[in-house]
A = this chain, B = another copy of it.
């Protein structure tokens, strides 16, 4: 596949870490929330994948913007947007909570941080949820304050992230439970650090508000990181697919509802809370799904998914569309995430797919892969 350059401009904002990662050898970006997200460093994606599973990486994850919602009606507004019951949410905890509209269409799948009883951060995937929140707040006359907080996350991911962070911040960091957060001092400022991140290799996300102190922490990690084989990295397509971490805009979008995306665990239809699309989701659930996000395995050595790719059965009938995929060294196949149409949900369903003019065989499977 031919490569194309990205044209930088102020509209595609850099992050406080951009100059560092450019010195550290970044070679490619994607754009996410109108900002630069590194996608490749010098080495191959395979090498970065294996390194992430064995060692530790620091990622510039500042594109994960925070919409801050505070004020008297903040909890009401956050709950109205989220189909997950947040009524028992605790301060100091993160919650994965899909945001949907009144038709139950997916708008975002953020992680939500409860900072105080009347103060929340919505840690976004790639869409302008700030605008949705503002529209709802204005229309409902809610007493809230909504803005993009000045927070630039960097992420520390990989099995050795625990030892690395302990070395720099002390043993208290190891007390953090998964999806818990707390404040840790470094460089003269307190940093909100969560035990979270967009890999399944373990790690932390540092929510940097004080840029100078955050950069000092970033630099300190690389200063002492050699013994843990620390490298700069970025979300890894191979790892995130193998771990079945969904990507909004790739695997799911505003044309899908959370039940179709297998997010049932985060859809609180039996709760007492009021959220958009609740009655529609109940109806969808009772009528049954028309399409469903599933895994696929394809007997191919490579693929580049840059748009939806058709999956057809032996009678040339369309059974669904592949939305993400890449070769996985462990499975020694291409694995991917596809939206499969009714009635082809059966995991023994086989299909054919055209990759660069050649036909390959594949099979549908359940998620997660492992």
Residues of chain A whose beta carbon lies under 8 Å from any beta carbon of chain B? 2-14, 22, 26-31, 34, 39-40, 101-102, 107, 126-141, 148, 247-250, 254, 276, 304-308, 323-324
Contacts and interface: CB of A to CB of B under 8 A. Distances in A.
Nearest to A9: B250
Given A34-B249, A101-B134, A139-B138, A5 B5 contact: yes
Nearest to A22: B2
A27 B3 CA distance: 8
A291 to B, nearest CB: 16
A306 B308 CA distance: 31
Copies of this chain, tallied across the complex: 2
Contact of A6 (B5, B129, B130, B304): B5
A133 B132 CA distance: 8
Q: Which 7 pairs of residues, A with B, have the shortest CB-CB distance? A: A139-B139, A135-B135, A11-B249, A128-B128, A31-B31, A131-B132, A6-B6
A31, A40, A133 pick with most chain B CB within 10 angstroms: A31
Contact of A30 (B6, B13, B102, B137): B6
Contacts of A307: 10, 13-14
B135 A250 contact: no
Contact of A129 (B13, B131, B305): B131
Contacts of A148: 254
A138 B5 contact: no
Nearest to A29: B4
A136 B107 CA distance: 15
A138 B249 contact: no
Nearest to A107: B131
A247 B11 contact: yes
B135 A304 contact: no
7 contacts: A5-B29, A10-B323, A11-B250, A127-B131, A128-B128, A128-B132, A139-B139
Contact of A10 (B4, B132, B137, B249): B249
Given A131-B128, A134-B132, A135-B133, A31 B5 contact: no
Contacts of A101: 134, 138
A24 B33 CA distance: 29
A6 B304 CA distance: 13
Given A102-B134, A131-B107, A10 B139 contact: no
Contact of A7 (B2, B9, B13, B29): B29
Contacts of A3: 5
A276 B139 CA distance: 11
Contacts of A9: 30, 247, 249-250, 305-306, 324
A324 B7 CA distance: 13
A17 B131 CA distance: 29
Contacts of A10: 249-250, 305-308, 323-324
A131 B6 CA distance: 26
Given A101-B138, A132-B134, 6 more contacts: A5-B27, A5-B29, A6-B31, A9-B249, A10-B323, A148-B254
Nearest to A11: B249
A3 B40 CA distance: 13
A4 B30 contact: no
